[in-house]
Amino acid sequence: MLGVTIDWAIASGVAYLFFGGEALAISLVFVALQIVFVATLSGSIGHLVLGMRVVPLRPAWIGVVKPTIRAILLALVIPAVIFDRDERGLHDRLAGTVLVRR
């Protein structure tokens, strides 16, 4: 949750700076940051600050599709708060990813 809070704060700052803080702009910036950073650095800024990363279940490059699915579901909130017994969020299960410590 702290990682998402860090990412949301960054997205809010960017949205306030460029778009006047519109709620939709904050959400879109959040999703864009998630996609770009997870696809390129295997984790969002919040993940990286906290020593975590997002990896695909099958070892390979994570690509762009998985981070996109994950980010959209994360922005919808409900899939992110539904967990399985391994404490993996529904957004990770549906995207085929897992959040791990580095």
- Please give the DSSP secondary-structure letter assigned to residue 76: T
Each residue's pLDDT tens digit, 20-66: 989 999 999 999 999 999 999 999 999 999 999 999 988 888 999 99
Is 79's pLDDT higher than 80?
A: no
Give the predicted TM-score (pTM) of the model.
0.89
Which structural domain range is residue 59 located in? 2-101
Determine what percent of the chain is predicted with pLDDT higher than 70.
100
Number of domains in the chain: 1
| 81 vs 98 pLDDT, higher one | 98
Task: Please report, as a single letter, which amino acid is at residue 55.
Answer: V
Locate tokens 């650095």: which residue? 41
Measuring CA to CA, how many Å separate 101 from each of 16, 17, 68, 84, 86?
A: 31, 32, 21, 18, 14
